[in-house]
Amino acid sequence: MSLSSRRGSLQVGSYIEPEEVRRSVVHAHHADPVEASGARHAGNLLLLCKLHHDNYGGQLTRIGVTTALQNNTKGVSICFGEDSQVDGRRIELTISGTGEVVKLFFTDQHVEYWLSQETTRD
CA atoms of 69 and 31, how far apart (whole Å) = 14
**How much of the chain is helix, strand and coil, in % rounded to 5?**
40, 25, 35
Residue 78 confidence (pLDDT) above 90: no
Per the model's pLDDT, the better-predicted residue between 60 and 18 turns out to be 60
Q: Give the model's pLDDT for residue 2.
A: 39
Per the model's pLDDT, the better-predicted residue between 120 and 74 turns out to be 74
Q: Give the model's pLDDT for residue 111.
A: 92
* CA 22 distance to own-chain centroid: 14
Residue 10 confidence (pLDDT) above 70: no
